[in-house]
Amino acid sequence: MGDRTYAWFAIPVWAISDETRSVICNVFSLTAVDLAGILANDPHPDPAAYMDGTSLRLVDGVPCLVVEDEQANYGGNDIEEALQAAVIPYLQRNDAGCEYGPGLAAYCNDEHMAVRADWRGEPVIGVQVGNGTIAIDETELVDLKVYAALRAQVLSATRESARS
């Protein structure tokens, strides 16, 4: 039994090379001709269409191959594992399933971080209110900082700048 929900994956164009094309095609069930056709288009300015599809889109101004799956099992966990095994950088967003809430993930240079998200896809951290004080979940704050740094690396302009 699965837990299906919407998932969004973005792979920066700089990360798509002769070495990664076959993995990307396999993971997302694309032919080499399909992928070449998608990459030949001008990128769409919106980062997501919020429906099934694969397209070239701008994510914070960076051209990315964006794959959206309305029925991804466990938010696309199997896709994440395949991309990580091939060391392909990506951003991921998933809506809430029955067993988990919405989340965001970033992977680059063999480092991965997932954080909680709100219903609009923005990162959130836990706070506790009690006895007139507010306490931030420090662990989630550290995780959010790591996520933000990885996200910036994925969206950097070139492979070389992502490695530094």
pLDDT digits (tens, 9 = 90+) for 104-123: 999 999 999 999 998 888 99
Domain that includes residue 116, residue range: 4-163
- Could you tell me the pTM of the whole model? 0.89
Overall domain count for the chain: 1
Got the DSSP string for 124-162? ---EEEETTEEEE-HHHHHHHHHHHHHHHHHTSSSHHHH
The predicted structure's pLDDT at residue 159 = 55
For the chain (length 164 residues), average pLDDT per consecutive 10?
A: 78 95 96 97 92 94 94 81 96 81 92 92 90 92 96 80 52
The predicted structure's pLDDT at residue 14 = 95
